[in-house]
Structure 1
Amino acid sequence: MMYPKIPLAQTVIQLCKAKGIKHIVLSPGSRNAPLTIGFSNNNFFKCYSIVDERCAAFFALGIAQKLQEPTAVVCTSGSALLNYYPAVAEAFYSHIPLVVISADRPKHLIGIGDGQTINQPHVFENHIHYSANLKQDLNENETNNETEDLPIFKNIEHKIETLLGLKQSIQTYNETEINKAINVSIEKKGPVHINVPFNEPLYDRVESLTVNPEVVAPKIKNDTVSADVLNTCVEDWNNAKRKMILVGVNNPNEIEQQWLNVLANDASVLVFTETTSNIHNTAFFPSIDQIIAPLNADDFNELQPDILLTFGGLIVSKKIKAFLRTYKPKQHWHIGNTRANNTFFCLNKIIETTPNTFFNAFLPRTHVVESNYKTYWQNIKTHRLLKHKEYLKSIPFSDFTAFNIILQAIPNHSVLQLSNSSTIRYAQLFTLNNTLEVYCNRGTSGIDGSTATAIGFASVTSKQTTLITGDLSFFYDSNALWNNYIPTNFRIIVINNQGGGIFRILPGHKNTENFDTYFETTHHLNAKHLCAMYGFNYEKAHDDASLKSALKTFFNDDSTPKLLEIFTPKNTNDEILLHYFKFIK
């Protein structure tokens, strides 16, 4: 087996292997050559080569999103690293273990006008769990062309560091930092940054390792609930007649169905689930805005809970956030081992454990409280669903009807990836097939990276993955298709309403040149030529009939991935959606 000659590169690679980081997303470059040589020549690693660093980082995020284990993304020095930032921020707020490894120039070459140099240490300071800034290997016997023509003060600084720095102490320091960074990513489920300075020559190889780094295992958290917290929760719960559970982003199969059934059978409990919650029961309330949007002040008073219990990630629905901020519950408990957000400005209890562990200890000690809370809202839910179906029969082809048709066609037991903006909000209005696994980048809720994330996810699952995306999200992230790892069963559905349709729903002066240009960003693009360039089978639809016809064979096996572009009327979509909330009341 071939290894990079540089001991620091060997150390990084060995510790990644020791900690089970199998998936390595590499972007071509020169300064990261020692890492590329080491990772790509080791059969333990599954390596990917993706040129666009922003897409590479979201691709890696998609892999980590699926596997729930650290995935590494590796780049050269300079601005390449900055292109990782959107994915790093998403990983930070979505609690996804992403390990960023950046090659860097030696310290004495930073700040003197050398090419491809920026200040890389701590570059992600506000959105990272740990930054490991490694020290360069020292070898006084090697001739180094990079130090020959240094300014005198830089040359002196370099020589002082060389004389004072002992090889073994630097090796120990680097091992400690790498161990800590990767362990933090595992323990906190989030992004970390390892910055690795390399001196030339970069491409030298050896046939045997010259270092054997110490491996420090991550800390395994004792997942329990304290007796005091549990006793207080049980007492308060059993005395409350109105309990609301609100579930945000949640991975599939994280909660045992028996506990979900217990909650579903309690007359004093309402369980509101978002599309990305991945939990199901016929007694739950999956279309939050369908319930919330038409309510008046008296209705909100009837809905106001005594206890709000939340778990999972961020909430999509603006309407329920506005409701709970105005009609605050007496108590808000949040369950989870990651960051607890005070979204509704009334958080008073953080229970640091997994929801499953909490319910396992908590629910056997609770009892059903006599209440008409759920019955009252179940009746409203039934009414809303009837009006929802009635409305769909009365409206012309639009974004709304397209989503209704698409969501019924997604194959059972497959993966649904949703882009942000209008897409995730439309999906929230429908009851989805409960066999689907549903994902969306809701950490920062940006439109960048949705396609790359979905492709990364699809590359590590045998299940068919479908991405539903808006036109702006798709074209913005079109470099994601510059990718050699797209499975043939991957599907993209683009809702093309010729611009940022969500801005037509927001307050503003529509149908003006200023609005069309600077807000809606009206365009006349289509995906046909992109599909031809990147080897996708392209289909299109423009009404109910052509959409239903296309979907009949769209998910069938094929030798290439497929894209279906649906053209909807941009000037009526917003009116149809806004009128929906009036109609269902």
Structure 2
Amino acid sequence: MNSDLWPVHALVDGLYASGVRRAVISPGSRNTPLVFALLEHGGIGLVSHMDERSAGFFALGLARQSGEPVAVVCTSGTAVANLYPAVVEAYFSRVPLVVLTADRPAELREVGANQTIRQPNLFAAHVKWACEAPTPEDRAHLALDLRGLALRAGLAARTVPEGPVHINLPFREPLLPPKRNECAGLAQLPAIQGQPAASPACAPAAIAQVEEALARAERPVVVAGPMRPGRLAQGVARFAAACGIPLLADILSQCRDSEASAPYYDLVLRAGAAPEPPDLVLRFGGEPTSKALASWLRSAKAEVVVFDETPLYRDSGHLATHIVVGDPTPWLEEVRVFGNWREYRAAWRRAAEVARRALAEFVPWFEGEAVRLAVESLNAGHVLVLGNSRPIRDADALARPRAGVDVHGNRGASGIDGVTSTALGHAIASGKPTLLAIGDVSFYHDLNGLAVARELASPFVVALVHNGGGGIFRHLAQADRPEALHWFTTPHELDFAPIVRAYGGRYVCASGGDDFLAAVGEGMRGSGLTVVEARFPNDESPKVYRDILARLASAMGVSVP
């Protein structure tokens, strides 16, 4: 036992004071002091995860679902580097993580010591704040220092824009700390508690400019990008409905069920069947999924108002003419009328109805239909996580989630790694039945994430869309060079059934839409892990979309662009 290590208990107290209520621990030796301090605190729920890369993404899902900062704890060396992908996603998707990495002390660095790399500031520009903690010693002022570092870290992670922070913690051997109830110094420390500041409301002068723009607009639209469930998403939906403004709601916006929503806008735009371009765009949330929407807005030459909680506003097309910083929710929740845009909203509704009929009359069993069926099978109170690559694009184009379904995805950096772990984090944090729609390559990337399925207390269903690897490249420019396409699609013959069963899950291979829907429904009513796999030809999806767009264009009397 090392009595110098008692201040690490104070560090955990600082985490708790900042709002941390969960921690994900990956095994190792150098992080022994942290593990024991967390175990003996009693107020922080712990999950053990063997794989650091999956552990980071699992913590990200826990944090995004709960809205609370989550600690991630690992040992030294390359274990730390394996957290990097999740840290990057957390930074760009604004999710609060507190990354605690154990390290060797300074005298063991750069001298060939085992399992020792350059950990301080390893995550560089992808964390909001980082620090190197002092090596613990049996001194009260160091206990106060460590507690203060942890409190600052948690508050920094929670403060808008939320995001990851990093504390690197060097420990000297022996690594076993004294038990918490044996640390007399803890009781002598003064109590401490912290709360992050709430986002300020938007400046009245900025809101006045927006209202002036609305008063002169003839064809305004509201564009809702990815947002978490909550007051902002609800306010955007109510505002658009009350004002009679067409709402183009991304699949991750939590707004698609609004009465103002113009569904299928991605298909309408790709078919060249959209109404006149807008003269005013009000944008909320992150960057929308649809490339067709981005292109259409770029060509519209409209006034564009971007609302963001921070000056780090999202506007990759550089279209913004007004940036409004702050929380717009109080303004959105006021009921008012700025103009009469009934005809413009009606034009969008007519286009959406034509698209709906085209889909109802012609949608064969293909991978996009599998995603649509899975999404639209969910009920209020369910959680949906969409994988990147094709699943989120298919869902954005084709699906209308029911009201009360929380929809999430890793769109900060939009990687295909760690998606299963993220979805499991959502499932365990919410305690609600959760469905993950994911492609086969992304599922392969995070098979280790299934290890945490043992923690599930609610159904977790994976709708696995298997097109033999990388089907998205059939939709991209690489498809014009078929002789080399296999270098991008990476075809494989992996059999996922024994892998799923090895992790204690139930596996079903569906042969058609009815089988697929029945298996998904059974899984959502059951318990634990269920994987429902549907297989499709790798080259089928682009052909189906071309047919859908041609039928839609014909019904609208236009030519496909």
Tell me the secondary structure at the aligned position of residue 468 of structure 1.
Answer: strand
Contact 1:11 1:213 in 2 (8 A): no
Aligned ranges 1:96-135 → 2 under 5 Å: 96-135=95-134
- 1:371, CA displacement in angstroms? 5.9
Code of the aligned partner of 1:97: P
Q: Which residue of 1 aligns with 2:349?
A: 378
Tell me the secondary structure at the aligned position of residue 358 of structure 2.
Answer: helix
Q: Which residue of 2 aligns with 1:461?
A: 430
Q: Which residue of 2 aligns with 1:524?
A: 493
Code of the aligned partner of 1:311: F
Distance 2:354 2:386 in 1: 28
1:431 aligns with 2:389: no
Contact 1:104 1:196 in 2 (8 A): yes
Q: Which residue of 2 aligns with 1:234?
A: 211
Distance 2:140 2:177 in 1: 22
Q: Deviations over 1:394-417 (max 9, x none)?
A: x3x221332333233234421111
Tell me the secondary structure at the aligned position of residue 159 of structure 2.
Answer: helix
1:202 aligns with 2:175: yes
- 1:138, CA displacement in angstroms? 4.3
Aligned ranges 1:17-166 → 2 under 5 Å: 17-138=16-137
- 1:346, CA displacement in angstroms? 2.3
Contact 1:4 1:204 in 2 (8 A): yes
- 1:376, CA displacement in angstroms? 2.1
Distance 2:112 2:177 in 1: 26
Query: 439, 443, 456: which is aligned to 1:486?
Result: 456
Distance change >3 Å, CA 72–CA 259, structure 1 → 2: closer
Distance change >3 Å, CA 328–CA 216, structure 1 → 2: farther
- 1:343, CA displacement in angstroms? 2.2
Q: TM-score, normalised by structure 1?
A: 0.87
Distance change >3 Å, CA 217–CA 42, structure 1 → 2: closer
Distance 1:130 1:230 in 2: 32
- 1:545, CA displacement in angstroms? 4.2
Distance 1:20 1:214 in 2: 15
Code of the aligned partner of 2:81: L
Tell me the secondary structure at the aligned position of residue 458 of structure 1.
Answer: helix
Q: TM-score, normalised by structure 2?
A: 0.91
Distance 1:262 1:451 in 2: 34
Code of the aligned partner of 1:490: F
Query: 391, 395, 399: which is aligned to 2:362?
Result: 391
Tell me the secondary structure at the aligned position of residue 482 of structure 1.
Answer: helix
- 1:130, CA displacement in angstroms? 0.1
Query: 184, 188, 191: which is aligned to 2:156?
Result: 184
Aligned ranges 1:311-460 → 2 under 5 Å: 311-337=284-310, 339-360=312-333, 363-364=334-335, 366-369=337-340, 372-392=343-363, 395=364, 397-428=365-396, 429-460=398-429
- Number of residues paired by the alignment? 545
Contact 2:58 2:424 in 1 (8 A): yes
Distance 2:409 2:533 in 1: 20
Code of the aligned partner of 1:379: R
Distance change >3 Å, CA 228–CA 256, structure 1 → 2: same
- 1:488, CA displacement in angstroms? 4.8
Tell me the secondary structure at the aligned position of residue 323 of structure 2.
Answer: strand
Distance 1:437 1:257 in 2: 12
Code of the aligned partner of 2:405: L
- 1:551, CA displacement in angstroms? 4.0
- What 5-or-longer segments of structure 1 have no aligned partner? 140-166
1:285 aligns with 2:262: yes
Contact 2:20 2:69 in 1 (8 A): yes
C-alpha RMSD of the superposition: 2.4
Contact 1:414 1:464 in 2 (8 A): yes
Tell me the secondary structure at the aligned position of residue 495 of structure 2.
Answer: coil
Q: Deviations over 1:481-520 (max 9, x none)?
A: 122313351111101111111011112246846311x100
Tell me the secondary structure at the aligned position of residue 308 of structure 1.
Answer: strand
Contact 1:240 1:369 in 2 (8 A): no
Q: Which residue of 2 aligns with 1:565?
A: 533
Distance change >3 Å, CA 168–CA 330, structure 1 → 2: same
Contact 2:22 2:45 in 1 (8 A): yes
Tell me the secondary structure at the aligned position of residue 570 of structure 1.
Answer: coil
Tell me the secondary structure at the aligned position of residue 98 of structure 2.
Answer: strand
Tell me the secondary structure at the aligned position of residue 218 of structure 2.
Answer: coil
Distance change >3 Å, CA 509–CA 371, structure 1 → 2: closer
Code of the aligned partner of 2:374: I
Distance 1:213 1:44 in 2: 19
Q: Which moved more, 1:312-321 or 1:329-338?
A: 329-338
Please say which structure displays the higher CA radius of gyration.
Answer: 1
Q: Which residue of 1 aligns with 2:557?
A: none
Code of the aligned partner of 1:54: R
Q: Deviations over 1:36-64 (max 9, x none)?
A: 01101222111111010000011111100
Distance 1:199 1:578 in 2: 63
Code of the aligned partner of 1:16: L
- 1:173, CA displacement in angstroms? 4.6
Distance change >3 Å, CA 551–CA 169, structure 1 → 2: closer
Distance 1:213 1:486 in 2: 38
Distance change >3 Å, CA 66–CA 492, structure 1 → 2: same
Q: Deviations over 1:310-337 (max 9, x none)?
A: 1112321111112222323223332434
